[in-house]
Amino acid sequence: KHFGFQPRACRPYRAKTKGKVERPFRYIREDFFLARSFRNLDDLNEQLQDWLDTVANARLHGTTQRIVSEAFAAEQPELQPLPAVPFDALLKLERRVSHDGLVSIGGNYYSVPDRTRRLVEVHQLADCIRILDEGRLVASHPVLEGRRQYRIDPAHRQGAVRHAARKSAPDIIVGRLGDHVARRSLDFYQAVAERLAVAGSRS
């Protein structure tokens, strides 16, 4: 509906029903990429644009017997314009809230407010996680990369007044739970080591 077309699956084991949609990828792979090197993505794009302008789009197409760029220019007015806004690819999931107020999504953990119900609806977009409780948005987080990462919003764990009073507290805590430890002086750890040494000698 967003882009104005309806996908239709090809018949299994009937290659001819697919059309020639895959042939251009082989052409690009074998005619453009072979024996080339690229310094970076910008260099690749520059070389690709030059190849399109001087080789691919300037050639006589074997099936239509028309110059590719001229055929495209003639057909372009008949093409539908792209939508004015991008499509938000949305994946809806149901998730249970753990006892410590976290929701597991894609191997990572995201916080919700303390009084959130145990069953929530998750809307997963390309760059954003939205968590809804009975249709009401209760948390929004950027998507974390990797696995076993934690994103905990301090506002989910304390009252708004206390949160406002702690101006110096970070808004977001990201990382594994073990990454955040209390800071202590070296004297503290020296005392612990001495105590363990004494306990070990007695045993």
The residue that leads in pLDDT, 101 or 85, is: 101
**Cβ-proximal residues to 171 (8 Å cutoff; 6+ apart), any chain:** 153, 154
Sign of torsion, CA 65 66 69 75?
negative
> Mean pLDDT throughout 30-44?
93
The residue that leads in pLDDT, 157 or 104, is: 104
Burial letters 101-119, b for 16+ CB under 10 A, else e: bbbebbebbbbbeeebeee
Whether the predicted pLDDT of 9 surpasses 80: yes
Whether the predicted pLDDT of 36 surpasses 60: yes
Largest CA distance in the chain: 93
Whether the predicted pLDDT of 195 surpasses 90: no
Mean pLDDT, rounded, of the chain: 82
The residue that leads in pLDDT, 121 or 86, is: 121
> Mean pLDDT throughout 193-203?
65
CB 158 within 8 A of CB 165: no
Please name the residue that has the structure tokens 């052409």: 27
